[in-house]
Amino acid sequence: MRILWRLTGLIAVFSAWNTIYLSVSKNPWFNVFKHALSDLGGPRAVDSWIYNVGLIVTGALASTYATYLAKTSTSKISTYASSFIFIAGIFLALIGLFPSGTRPHVFVSTWFFIQVWMALVASTIDFLFKKQLIPGLTLLSLSIIGPLGALLVKWPSVALLEIYGIIIINAYVTVLTRKF
C-alpha cells in the first residue's frame, strides 16, 4: 500500500496527460498552437466533463501525493514544500470545478502554477540544505528555467505555455519520487 501511495505523484502525471489526450481526441477543433488547454473543459468542448473531471481526479492524486511527502518528510522545509503541493492539488481540482468561461477560472489556474513553483523552490532549498546536490541543483535549475521560460519565450499559445509548465512539474515529481 505504501508503494502505491509513494507513486501517486507519478500516477497524477499519467492522469494529467491521459486527461489531455482523451480531451483532445474528443475535440478535433482544438489546436495546441491557438488555444488554451482549459478550452477542452469550456463551453465549446465536446464532453467537457472528461477534462474537468480529469483535473479534479488529478488534483486529488496530487494532494494525496503531498500527504505522502509530508508523512515521509525529514525536515520542516520539506513539510512546508508538501503543503504547497497539497494546495496546488486543490487548485488543480478547482480548475475542473471552475472551467474556462467561468469567473474564477483564470485565478485558480494561475495560482495552481504559482503554488507548484513555490513548492519547487521550497524543495530546492530543502535538498541544498541537506547537501543533496544532484536533486538540489536539478530542482534549482527547474525553479529558474520554469518562470524564465514562461516569461521570456514568446509562446504562440497558452496551451504550449501550459504544456511547458506541465513538463517542468513532471520533472519535479520525478525528482521527488526518486528521492523519497
- Whether the pLDDT of residue 1 is over 80: the answer is no
Q: Percentage of the chain surpassing pLDDT 70?
A: 99
Q: State how far the Cα of 158 lies from the Cα of 96, in Å rounded to an integer.
A: 17
Q: State how far the Cα of 175 lies from the Cα of 136, in Å rounded to an integer.
A: 9
pLDDT score recorded for residue 84: 98
Nearest residue to 67 (alpha-carbon basis) of 111, 19, 12: 12
Confidence bin at 60 (pLDDT 50/70/90): very high
Q: State how far the Cα of 68 lies from the Cα of 31, in Å rounded to an integer.
A: 36
Q: State how far the Cα of 48 lies from the Cα of 46, in Å rounded to an integer.
A: 5
Averaged over 33-55, what is the pLDDT? 97
173, 9 contact by CB (below 8 A)? yes
Provide the number of structural domains found in the chain.
1
Nearest residue to 169 (alpha-carbon basis) of 137, 139, 136: 139
- Whether the pLDDT of residue 26 is over 80: the answer is yes
pLDDT score recorded for residue 21: 98
Contacts of 110 (CB under 8 A, 6+ apart): none
Domain hosting 77: range is 2-179
pLDDT score recorded for residue 85: 98
Averaged over 29-52, what is the pLDDT? 97
Contacts of 150 (CB under 8 A, 6+ apart): 161, 164, 165
166, 54 contact by CB (below 8 A)? no
pLDDT score recorded for residue 179: 82
Contacts of 76 (CB under 8 A, 6+ apart): none
- When the pLDDT of each residue in the chain is averaged and rounded to a whole number, the result is 97
Q: How far is CA 17 from CA 7, 110, 169, in A?
A: 16, 19, 12
Q: Which stretches of 28-142 are assigned E, i.e. beta strand? A: none
